[in-house]
Amino acid sequence: MVQLSPTGAGKDRVLSPSRRRTAQILVFLMFVASVALLLNAFAFKQRLEAIRSASSDNGGWVVAQLEVDQKGLMGVLDDAAFALQSGDATTLDARTLALINQEFDIFYSRVDIFSSTLRRMRLSDNTERQITRLQDTRDALTAQIDALTATDTEALMAFREAVNAAHPLVRDITVSALQDITLETARTREEEERLFVRFFVQSLILLGLMGLGTYLVIRLWRELETRTAETGRIAAMLSTAFNSTLNAVIVTDTRSRILYTNEMAQRLLGYHNDRLKHMTLDDVLVLDAAEAGNDGETGRLNLVGKGPVSSACRCADGRTVPVEVSLVRDQDVTGQTIVIGFIRDISRQVAAETDLRAALRTAQQAAQAKSMFLATMSHEMRTPLHGLMASLGLIEESRLSDANRALLKTARDCSARALMQVDDVLELTRLGESRETPEEFRPASIAADIVDELQPLARKSDNRIELVTEGPFDRYRVEGLPIAFARALYNLAGNAVKFTRAGRISIRLRLEGEAPDGLRLSVEVEDTGIGISLADQKRIFENFETADRSETSSSTGSGLGLPIAKLAVERQGGRLGLDSTPGVGSRFHFTIPLHPARRPADPAPQPSAPMPRARGSAKQVLVVDDNEVNLTLMAEMVRRMGHAPDIARHGQEAVEKAAERAYDVILMDFSMPVLDGPAAAQAIRAGQGASTEAVIIGVTALIEATAGMAGAAAMDDVLTKPVSREQLDEAIRLTRHAAAGGDGADGAARGPAPDAMPQTGAGTAETADAAAALEQLSGLVGQDTALRLTQATLDDAGRAMAALRSRAVTQAEQADIVHKAVGSAGLMGFADLSETLCEIETLLRAGRDPAGTDLPGTLAALLAEMRANYEPLLPAVAGDAQRPG
């Protein structure tokens, strides 16, 4: 079984740092003590040798012998003197002389020995001096005795006297020397004693240190035992953990040869440990080549320590199980590098993930289905509503009684309301799935439109609604989502008006930042209405919630207004914010990023529909729709416009009819049986029939079929049901122009553009055109209305011009007035006028003075010409300067 080292580091320190230091100090001390002891022992040995080898003769003996030898000399001299004095002889015999000489010689040599022996030790000054005296004395005696003859008895006596006289000296020197010797002995003894003591103490110290050392060793031993036991326990614990973990663990060497596997691994892989031991990691694990690196082996090692990796393992029965693998490098107890692989069976996880994804897909599909259901339902509801509203609209009011007229009004109101509800629901769904792409738009214009639309409603509640713009609106042509923008602003402004009485509603637009990426449009809708409490603030953004449920009578919302606005804002990349205080008012605000229009700013007016010049009043129009009601209504509308419509009930019929007859315009519904709209359009275009050049306008109820599809579907334009007369008219005009003039943007390249400025070639042709236009309009809305509208438009334009010149009017007010004129001119199809006025409005909204440009001049010229064209046709309709509304 593989033994893992518990700390994983292979090297383990048994001693803690403090213990180690103690041990080190101890060893050091022992070393020092040993050295000291060794030195002492050496000195000891030297002393020992010194003791063994005497460096000098026995001092006491030598000192004593001096006196003895002197006494010996004195003795023989006494005997000789006695013999002489007693008269036995008068001279010395040879024998006696020889004896005296011998004794003196002995004495002589003794003095030498005495001196040399004593001088080997430390002597006192006194002794030194005495030795010198002794030597001198001896030398003197030597002279005497050498001169001695046998006959000279007197000399002998004198010699004897001298010898005797030297005795006290000898006595003294003996004493002195003995004292010195004693001192020396004592000193030596002391020295030895000191040596002994030192040796003893050092031995004791060493002994003590050794004792301490022994103690420490015992301690360490115990600790080692404890540690070993602990290590063993940990190793045992690890082994247990190793074997009982729920993860599969495979231990390999650096060559991926399997060294050991735990039980889980064996169970997972379906092999027995013994078999696994002969395999490598590759045999059981599928490691992604990309993850592992090119070289499988080193690549695998690259994975070491890098965290879990998804993989799969090959089991004995051939199955492949998804697993998560984590490789870690470590060392076993012998220090050999091993790689530990932790393998987790994640098949359940994978299955769960798959299930989750499937569930998510299902949920998404369900949501989508719900949306589709909503859309379809709404569509289904819109169609009859469309019919209802159109029918109601076609009823001639003049033939009704008062009571019936009132009923009619109610019916219309109700149907309008119903339609609004359906629209809102559709809107919500549409916004949720909207694929509106950015296009160029004028936010200030849209805001002005909305303000205009809401003016009547505002006035009903004594409210004042105003628009304030700030920023370089004139410098940039911006791209955004105009539909979403309009929807959001309209809902917010509409709400503000609804919930305010005798107050003020302000719409503020602020354009700030730098192109190309930093442009921002800040929008605020502020009112002095009833406000929204904090509790409600959260709630009102929910679908179908309204702020004041108690006042449902005054509330006319579907409850979707705010959610739609919120969604629309988010679609544009902003977030709808709300500040409100009950009783004071509310302020909705959002900021959206805008990008400059992708196409370079076209200073020239956009190609637009030409002035209404009817080239022959009646057109050949084919109306195609599978729905009977729609078909009837659309055809009626066309008839009212002054054309003669044919009808077809499905695409195939349309193709056949279009092949026979050259229609000018084909109004094609999208979804039809047998052959649907787009296919039919393609067929007509591709075919050799009479109507290949016809203007084909698609009419759809579904959201998806919007502008993006028109080009692909061989249709010139697409309208969404319900189609108003104005929309239809506009579409026809636009596409007719496009069909007639080719690429509308480049109208100038195709010869004299049909939308040439009216400055060139004025005269009866224009007047005739004006008349025709007026006639066409009359056909649409009735002559009275047409006349009134035209007059009103001209009046609006005149008022706008006057406002521009006036100093009493603020720029914002000027912008509003101009905006009105833009609207009416646009409605009437006076495109150039409308464009010019629009540009002026933009400048005004940006805070710039149009007086510096040529626009006012252009406006004046346009207006003058139009007046010249139309005034002859208009009766003097006085006093009706206000546009009906």
Query: How far is it, in rounded angstroms, from Cα 768 to Cα 614?
Result: 10
Judged by beta carbon, residue 102 or residue 783, the one nearer another protein is 102
Instruction: Give the three-class secondary structure for 16.
Output: coil
Shortest distance in whole angstroms from residue 221 CB to another protein: 49
Shortest distance in whole angstroms from residue 157 CB to another protein: 20
Judged by beta carbon, residue 110 or residue 487, the one nearer another protein is 110
Task: Spell out the alpha helix ranges (H) of 245-346.
Answer: 263-269, 273-276, 281-284, 289-292, 296-303
Q: What's the burial of 573, exposed, middle or buried (CB within 10 Å: 0-12/13-18/19+)?
A: middle
Judged by beta carbon, residue 146 or residue 274, the one nearer another protein is 146
Shortest distance in whole angstroms from residue 195 CB to another protein: 21
Query: How far is it, in rounded angstroms, from Cα 672 to Cα 700?
Result: 10
Query: How far is it, in rounded angstroms, from Cα 83 to Cα 91?
Result: 9
Does 184 help bind another protein (rule: CB under 8 A)?
no
75-83, 216-224, 229-237, 624-632 -> range binding another protein (CB under 8 A): 75-83
Query: How far is it, in rounded angstroms, from Cα 475 to Cα 347?
Result: 61
- The single-letter DSSP state of residue 257 is B
Task: Tell me the CA distances in angstroms from 420 to 187, 386, 427, 600, one per residue in order.
Answer: 135, 11, 10, 38
Shortest distance in whole angstroms from residue 184 CB to another protein: 15
Query: How far is it, in rounded angstroms, from Cα 845 to Cα 471?
Result: 8
Q: What's the burial of 53, exposed, middle or buried (CB within 10 Å: 0-12/13-18/19+)?
A: exposed
Judged by beta carbon, residue 95 or residue 460, the one nearer another protein is 95
CB 880 within 8 A of CB 792: yes
Shortest distance in whole angstroms from residue 65 CB to another protein: 8
Judged by beta carbon, residue 59 or residue 607, the one nearer another protein is 59
Task: Spell out the alpha helix ranges (H) of 706-810.
Answer: 707-710, 725-741, 764-781, 783-805
Shortest distance in whole angstroms from residue 70 CB to another protein: 12
CB 509 within 8 A of CB 523: yes
Shortest distance in whole angstroms from residue 196 CB to another protein: 22
Shortest distance in whole angstroms from residue 99 CB to another protein: 6
* Contacts to another protein from residues 24-53, by CB under 8 A: 52-53
Shortest distance in whole angstroms from residue 56 CB to another protein: 5
Q: What's the burial of 406, exposed, middle or buried (CB within 10 Å: 0-12/13-18/19+)?
A: exposed
Query: How far is it, in rounded angstroms, from Cα 268 to Cα 276?
Result: 12
* Contacts to another protein from residues 49-68, by CB under 8 A: 52-58
Interface with another protein (CB under 8 A), residue from 8, 75, 673, 872:
75
Shortest distance in whole angstroms from residue 105 CB to another protein: 4
Interface with another protein (CB under 8 A), residue from 7, 8, 60, 79:
79
Judged by beta carbon, residue 148 or residue 576, the one nearer another protein is 148
* Contacts to another protein from residues 321-340, by CB under 8 A: none
Q: Is there a cis peptide before residue 722, judged by omega within 30 degrees of 0? A: yes
**Beta-sheet pairing, 620-624 with 585-593:** unpaired
Query: How far is it, in rounded angstroms, from Cα 176 to Cα 548?
Result: 140
Judged by beta carbon, residue 56 or residue 243, the one nearer another protein is 56
Instruction: Give the three-class secondary structure for 526.
Output: strand
Query: How far is it, in rounded angstroms, from Cα 174 to Cα 67?
Result: 8
CB 841 within 8 A of CB 445: yes
Judged by beta carbon, residue 106 or residue 781, the one nearer another protein is 106
Shortest distance in whole angstroms from residue 124 CB to another protein: 21
72-80, 228-236, 416-424, 728-736 -> range binding another protein (CB under 8 A): 72-80
Closest listed residue to residue 794, CA positions, set 745, 843, 830: 830
Shortest distance in whole angstroms from residue 94 CB to another protein: 10
What's the order of all strands across the beta sheet hosting 478-480?
439-441, 478-480, 595-596
- The single-letter DSSP state of residue 872 is T
Shortest distance in whole angstroms from residue 80 CB to another protein: 11
Interface with another protein (CB under 8 A), residue from 15, 26, 36, 72:
72
Judged by beta carbon, residue 122 or residue 272, the one nearer another protein is 122
Closest listed residue to residue 136, CA positions, set 102, 157, 162: 162
Judged by beta carbon, residue 55 or residue 553, the one nearer another protein is 55
Shortest distance in whole angstroms from residue 176 CB to another protein: 21
Shortest distance in whole angstroms from residue 16 CB to another protein: 55
Judged by beta carbon, residue 106 or residue 408, the one nearer another protein is 106
Judged by beta carbon, residue 108 or residue 271, the one nearer another protein is 108
CB 136 within 8 A of CB 149: no
Judged by beta carbon, residue 58 or residue 362, the one nearer another protein is 58
Judged by beta carbon, residue 117 or residue 311, the one nearer another protein is 117
Shortest distance in whole angstroms from residue 46 CB to another protein: 13
- Token pair 């015999």 is found at 93
CB 652 within 8 A of CB 675: yes
Judged by beta carbon, residue 145 or residue 731, the one nearer another protein is 145
Judged by beta carbon, residue 105 or residue 570, the one nearer another protein is 105
% helix / strand / coil in the chain, to the nearest 5? Answer: 60, 15, 30
- Token pair 């609604």 is found at 465
How many residues sit in the footprint of another protein (CB under 8 A)? 25
- The single-letter DSSP state of residue 810 is -
* Contacts to another protein from residues 89-128, by CB under 8 A: 95, 98-99, 102, 105-106, 108-109, 112-113, 116-117, 120
Query: How far is it, in rounded angstroms, from Cα 212 to Cα 565?
Result: 90
Shortest distance in whole angstroms from residue 37 CB to another protein: 26
Task: Spell out the alpha helix ranges (H) of 330-401.
Answer: 347-394
Interface with another protein (CB under 8 A), residue from 4, 63, 76, 84:
76
Judged by beta carbon, residue 35 or residue 68, the one nearer another protein is 68
Shortest distance in whole angstroms from residue 208 CB to another protein: 37
Judged by beta carbon, residue 70 or residue 558, the one nearer another protein is 70
Closest listed residue to residue 474, CA positions, set 848, 812, 813, 832: 848
531: left (phi > 0), else alpha (psi -120 to 50), else beta? left
CB 508 within 8 A of CB 524: yes
* Contacts to another protein from residues 189-228, by CB under 8 A: none
String of b and e for 67-104 (b: at least 16 CB within 10 Å)? bebbebbbebbeebbeebeeeeeeebeeebbebbeebb
Binding site for another protein (CB under 8 A): 52-58, 69, 72, 75-76, 79, 95, 98-99, 102, 105-106, 108-109, 112-113, 116-117, 120
